[in-house]
Chains A and B, each alone.
Chain A
Amino acid sequence: MTTKEPLSLPRHALPWVLLSQSYVLMQLVGHIPYWIYALFVLAVGWRSLTHMGRLSYPNSYIKAVVVVATSAAIIATSRFDLESATAFLVAAGILKLLEMRHLKDLYVVVFLNFFIQGIVFLFEQSIGYFLIALIGVWLLISTLVLAHYSDSQKGRYKRTTKMAAQLMLLSLPMMLVLYFLFPRIGPLWGLTLQSNKALTGLSDQMNPADIAELSQSAELAFRVTFDKQGIPARQELYWRALVLDHYTGRQWRAQHTPQLQWPMSDQEPTPEQRSYEIIQEATGQNWLFSMAPAATLERGIGINEQGLLRTRRPVFQRKRYQVAQDLTEALPAKQLSDFERRTYLQLPKGYNPKAQALAQELQQQSATELELLDKLMQYFYQQEFSYTLKPQILGKNEIDDFLFNTKAGFCAHYAGALTFMARSVGIPARVVAGYQGGEWNETEQYLTVRQYDAHAWVEIWQPEFGWLRYDPTAMVAADRIEFGLEQALAEEGSFMEGQLFSMQKYKSVAWLNKLRISLDTINYQWQRWVLSYDNQRQKGFLEKVLGFNHWQQSLYIIAASFIVFFLIASVLLWWRLRAAKPSPFIQAWQKLQTRAQKLGVQPKTGETVTQYCNRLIQACPQHEALIQSTAQQINQWLYQDDSPDDKAMQEAVIESIKHLTKQLSVQKG
């Protein structure tokens, strides 16, 4: 018994393996440690030298050392999250290069790279990355195809890449079936993606510095499309996310967690409601965005007493949901409970005496609470307040310092100060954090809200009206509310300061701005129609369009479409083979040869009719005359008369061959 040597690695495939692997790894820049790339360069170098015959494969001692060192390095730097798991897999793929000797090792490396290419989607899902990944898949398939061409075949690169593209096109129907029908199961192992990575966004503690930092970020927060009621005026676009009810003297916090109500079923918006759809980026938090007064339309979204929307689980993936805004009334006017009244009047003792004094002074000048509130707002307008993202550091009594000393700050300072003063004269008040405004895309009719649209404002309780919105920032920098942050900071010039390459910074360059908006539109449509197709939407699609009511049905359909797909492929293949079926003459001739084989005359490739017949005569001399006449007939028909299309002649030739075949079997019998 001999052991079979595994198929060797075709030399011309190695550059393609390295190329496709580099391409896939490039997409992970920023997500895995940089030293992994150094490891990759080393491995590629070593493997290339081996390829050129300068260096042998590493022996098992070296391999053991490298594996142990790499694992140790990953564990040492690991935070046991998605990124270190990815780094581990990538490192394994890189080290496999060092022992890639045979074709089967190439399979391991290429399939690993397919997997890593898939992992990239855990980090990035924009349409740009989708296109990049398409090229990656194409390179990987090309590598696999190329590994099965022999070294010397000309034009193999062109044929290989073409075949890879064809394979991808052919798999398109199956891809669509799987995309639409394959059950979207949530992560079974509860790996919270990116949970350790700080997501940009609001937090439940308002620190002025945080919002200042947010305003430097052009990252997407969410996008909104409105129903036929259309978009409200820009001054009304207050996207509520959080109520900060507790003041510690240094910062505002969301302390009280009010009761949530969950709707029992999905609802259609009533005519008195303006419904809109939000596609929200991952926040790592369970709050959603809405305009007051909000109403929930979906089963999985609850609403609390503060009129804020919440989900059961934190949003770790992009989420698409439907919200309604009641157009008829303000937030339901009801009595504040004692607990609520205490909560919204809470103040730490001993802070900001000057601000309290100011509030009390103004209170004495006003007859009603509404008048007082007007006066407070007027105060911000009349005094020399300015809007800046670079405020000075404030002292122990922050609000006093801000109101009477620096007089410069942004939304968080103004909202905090107003709430403090209202509470200090016994008016329930709260800070609301969220986003304000957004960029309206006129052609595609959607609103883009970015992190720099983050905002904080005030809601104040009036028994007759309920919670009323007061935005002191508007008194200081009306531009911020009406035109956005960029206008408000036009003089200071601090908009997107230090973000030289952000396209947001160059809105004034017309063509660049147009390009930016077009790119944003494409990405928006991609998110809206492709990425947001989640479990719930799939359910809706299956129920409404296909009439399914159980997920098993879609599995049956998937299985059925696989069967149909392979049936079609088999039929096509059969059709092709059928076209190559030999002519009746050849069939008869082959039958004769099969028959003669039993008499010991093996057919040889490259033998002419005459040569074969001569051998046949030697095997059975008693049929010499018959064989010779048949051979002559064939030769005459094929070569002398040149009439292979003459049916009568063909029939006659086939008849003689059949006759001869019969004679040969008679002899055998």
Chain B
Amino acid sequence: MTAIQSVLGQLNQVILGKENQTKLALSCLLAKGHLLIEDLPGMGKTTLSHGLASVLGLSYNRIQFTSDLLPADILGVSIFEQDPTSQQGSFRFHPGPVFSQVLLADEINRATPKAQSALLEAMEEAQVTIEGETRPLPTPFFVIATQNPISSSGTFPLPESQLDRFLMCIELGYPSEQAERLLLEGKDQREIAKRLKTELTLDKLLALQEQVEQVKASSSVLDYLQRIVAYTRYEAGYQYGLSPRGALALLRSAKAWAVVNDGREYLVPEDIQAVLPAVVDHRLSQAAASNKQKVSQDILQHVPVLQ
């Protein structure tokens, strides 16, 4: 049993009947991307992110986003401290929760845009600048954010620029009947999540990330990927198409999927198709607002694999 399979096995103990989503979540982290989990409250978003952090054995912080959250609550703040003996004082930086390897931003769209954008630099550059001083974040650095559907009350939708910084956006959806029965019969899933075994060391995680980068993408696969990109830009009639960053995200995710799904060393079109909904839908849903269909479905039905 490979390390990946055991990680997946552990995760599937916590999230029942969602093998595809756990694979996507793991692929996202192996592709060094940030993950956004979108669903209604109570679908297991938090449980999944908990589980991921503990299985991968990474240091973990959680921020509950609320409407009165301030940037300093995320990044940290300098406080004047006085030594009671010497009576001399100085400003000392108290790092915020962002200084961890896995940051769980729970219900990210309940915070104001101001607080949301505090995460921006951290997510893109793995560093934060506070009071003019740039501080590096620990490596690896993952943001796993959960959000309620935009239509829920009391939410501030993430702007497109911020959505684009999440490599993938997955939905969990209702569990199947059998999974639900198991859930009802079993113990509290969060309890299980806390007691999950750590399956990976940091070195192993970095090695896996390296393996993902080594996956070979043949010219035929790249042709397919470029046809997808061209379709979103020129043919589908969307307001805007996939950006070059989006195209790169699609390629990286597909490579990670190839590793996670069956440890392949080369890419096949099925890998792209598997990650397509998670990578493309949240990037283009606003561009294709008039379409009833999801963007990924539209692409899958219209872009030929061979040409």
Contacts and interface: CB of A to CB of B under 8 A. Distances in A.
A644 B306 CA distance: 12
A150 B305 CA distance: 27
* Interface of B: prevailing SS: mixed
A152 B236 CA distance: 11
Interface stretch (B87-95, B103-111, B213-221): B213-221
Given A589-B306, A606-B299, A607-B305, A642 B216 contact: yes
A639 B217 CA distance: 7
A489 interface: no
B255 to A, nearest CB: 13
Given A150-B237, A586-B306, A586-B307, A642 B300 contact: no
A635 B307 CA distance: 14
A606 B304 contact: yes
B132 to A, nearest CB: 41
A608 B307 contact: no
B306 A639 contact: no
B220 A605 contact: no
A153 B236 CA distance: 11
Contacts of A611: 270
Nearest to B268: A639
A193 B218 CA distance: 73
B305 A609 contact: yes
B76 to A, nearest CB: 43
B239 A152 contact: yes
Interface string A603-624: 0111111110000000000000
A604 B300 CA distance: 10
Given A606-B299, A606-B300, A639 B307 contact: no
Contacts of A604: 301
B303 A639 contact: no
Given A150-B237, A640-B266, A606 B303 contact: yes
Interface string A626-669: 00000000010011111010000000000000000000000000
Contacts, number: 56
A166 B299 CA distance: 33
A640 B268 CA distance: 8
A638 B223 CA distance: 11
Given A638-B220, A639-B218, A644-B220, A608 B239 contact: no
A605 B301 contact: yes
Given A152-B239, A582-B307, A608 B216 contact: no
Interface in B23-78: none
Contacts of B267: 639
Contact of A640 (B218, B270, B306, B307): B218
B268 A635 contact: yes
Contact of B270 (A150, A152, A589, A608): A608
Contacts of A606: 273, 299-305
A637 B301 CA distance: 24
Contacts of A153: 237
A649 to B, nearest CB: 12
Interface in A584-615: 586, 589, 604-611
Given A635-B268, A639-B268, A609 B306 contact: yes
A638 B303 contact: no
Given A610-B270, A639-B268, A605 B218 contact: no
A544 to B, nearest CB: 54
A605 B302 CA distance: 6
Given A152-B239, A608-B270, A610-B270, A638 B304 contact: no
B133 to A, nearest CB: 43
Nearest to B269: A608
B286 to A, nearest CB: 14
Contacts of B266: 639-640, 642
A644 B219 contact: yes
Contacts of A642: 216, 218-220, 266
Interface residues of A, number: 21
Interface in A11-35: none
Nearest to A607: B305
Interface string B251-270: 00000000000000011111
B258 to A, nearest CB: 10
A639 B306 CA distance: 12
Contact of B220 (A152, A607, A610, A639): A639
Nearest to A151: B237
A582 B218 CA distance: 19
Given A605-B303, A609-B306, A638 B218 contact: yes
Given A640-B218, A642-B218, A644-B220, A605 B304 contact: yes
A152 B240 CA distance: 10
Nearest to B218: A642
Nearest to B221: A639
A117 to B, nearest CB: 34
Contacts of A640: 216, 218, 266
A583 to B, nearest CB: 9
Contacts of A582: 307
A588 to B, nearest CB: 11
Contacts of A639: 218, 220-221, 266-269
Interface string B213-234: 0001011110000000000000
A615 to B, nearest CB: 14
A610 B268 CA distance: 10
Interface in B116-147: none
Contacts of B216: 640, 642
A607 B237 CA distance: 22
A100 to B, nearest CB: 25
A380 to B, nearest CB: 85
B218 to A, nearest CB: 4
Contacts of A589: 306
Contacts of A609: 269, 305-306
Contacts of B306: 586, 589, 609
Interface in B281-307: 299-307
A640 B271 CA distance: 13
Contacts of B239: 152
A281 B82 CA distance: 103
A605 B266 CA distance: 23
A87 to B, nearest CB: 44
Given A586-B307, A605-B304, A642-B219, 4 more contacts: A586-B306, A589-B306, A611-B270, A644-B220
19 contacts: A589-B306, A605-B301, A605-B303, A606-B273, A606-B303, A606-B304, A606-B305, A608-B273, A609-B305, A638-B220, A639-B218, A639-B220, A639-B266, A639-B268, A639-B269, A640-B218, A640-B266, A642-B216, A642-B219
Q: Which 4 A-B pairs have the closest CB atoms?
A: A642-B218, A638-B220, A608-B269, A606-B300
